[in-house]
Each structure stands twice: as structure tokens, then as C-alpha cells.
Amino acid sequence: MTWHEWREAPAGDYAVIGDPVSHSRSPAMHAAAYRELGLDLTYRAIRGPRDEIVQALDHLAALGYKGLNVTVPLKDLAFAWADRPEATVSVNTLCLGSRTGISTDEEGFVRSLPEDLRGPVPTLILGAGGTAQALARRLIRDGRLLQVWNRTPARWDGFLAEHPGAIQVAEPDPAGCRLIINATSAGLSGESPPVLWDRIAPDALAVDLVYGRRTPFLEQAEAAGVATLDGT
């Protein structure tokens, strides 16, 4: 797929920015939507490394881009760039003119779940980074019984102080949960959190938020006989 380094990007209307960006499906999805709606707009893929992201966003705004989708690993920096972020830690969508940022990831995640898992079902989240905490906030709003685990437990302290209903578990033990979400980045380095797979319920769903690849977590879930979903 065609993509541009941010300094060499031609003027345009909308774009996705990431690093890497060549794997993004956003240009194809937006081109199809524009065609369907009869809109004469351009949508490009642009690479911007983390240490140049502020200059890249300012440059694209000056070039006349109206909005950007922001992908990994730039979402926290896009949040910092926005003057009016309507999210807590990261954003995936920027309106460049108003410097507004929003995150549609958490809502998109909930909508991607099978209907019977969208309600308040017992859920275990693994990891405690920005992705895990933003999703935990969204899920707890539905009244879910939420269990959280992280390799470094103290990273959940602030969240637990704000949300006393959530329970921190000492081991990644899925017993009693219908949904187990791997929000760690372990899959990116070919690893998996040490889930106690022999304790998972047969009707549970295991989800890895890592995008577009079979992670060891998903392979182990399959071997344990439960349904799986990747982060696509």
C-alpha cells in the first residue's frame, strides 16, 4: 500500500498516521466509504515516528489536513498534542483545526463483542498500560464485575482507588469469567502472560488486543478449547 513520510506527504483531506503505517486498513476502508457516499476526498497513510510527532501534526495541519486517525504507537502523544482531548489517556482520532481528540477504540471494542458478552458479564483484563486502563474504565461503566491483573501490580493502584468495585487478582486466573482480555503488549515480543488456562470456563471468550496476528495468548486459548478474537 502507498504511504508517505510525514515531511513528504502531499496536501490532502484526511489521513492515518502511525509508525509503521503500511499495514493499516484505514485507507482502503475510507476510500470505500468516500466512494459509496460520493465524496471527493483524499485519505492517505503517513508515517511519523514518536520523536517527531508534534512537528508532524503541526505540519499536516498547516498543509490543510482536516482530520487524522492515529494508530500505534502514537495515541498517547496525540492525546498530549490535543488541546481538548475527550478521553483519558490516548486518542485515535484528531480534528486538526480545533485540536480536538477522541478515542473510539473502547466503544469499537465493545461493539465487536458477541451480543451476549456486551452486557455486565464477569471480565478479566490483563495488563495495566493506557490501553488496559481506558478499556477498564469503559467496561466498568456497563456495571461489569471486573478483575484486573498486571505483572507489575502497582500500576493498577490509581485506577483501583477511583474504582473500588474492581478487584485486583494476584494471578491471571480466568475462573468464573466469561471474557478474558489480553491488553498487554506481550504478544508483540512473542510472549504471553502466564494465564492459568486449566481454570477457564468452556464458554469463555479470549481476546487479544494486539492487531492482526496470532499471538501465543490466542494459541494457548485455542489449545484450552475456548473461542478467541484478535484485536482487528
Active site residues: 75
The conformational region for residue 176 under phi > 0 = left, psi -120 to 50 = alpha, else beta, is left
Question: In whole angstroms, how large is the CA radius of gyration of the chain?
Answer: 19
- Cis peptide before 73, with omega less than 30 degrees from 0? yes
| Residue 152 binds ligand ATR (CB under 6 A) | yes
Cβ 24 to ligand ATR, closest distance in Å? 17
Q: Is the peptide bond before 20 cis (omega within 30 degrees of 0)?
A: yes
Report the residue from 151, 167, 212, 225 that binds ligand ATR according to the rule CB under 6 A.
Answer: 151
Instruction: Sort 134 into a burial class: Cβ within 10 Å, 0-12 / 13-18 / 19+.
Output: buried
Annotate each residue in 183-202 with x if it binds ligand ATR (CB under 6 A) or - if it does not, as one string: -xxx----x-x---------
Mark the segment that binds ligand ATR (CB under 6 A) among 26-34, 55-63, 77-85, 122-130.
122-130
Residue bearing cell 497513510? 45
Phi, psi of 194 (to 5 degrees): -80, 70
Nearer to ligand ATR, 45 or 105 (CB): 105
130 binds ligand ATR (CB under 6 A): yes
Residue 131 binds ligand ATR, judged by CB under 6 A: yes
Binding site for ligand ATR (CB under 6 A): 127-132, 150-152, 155, 184-186, 191, 193
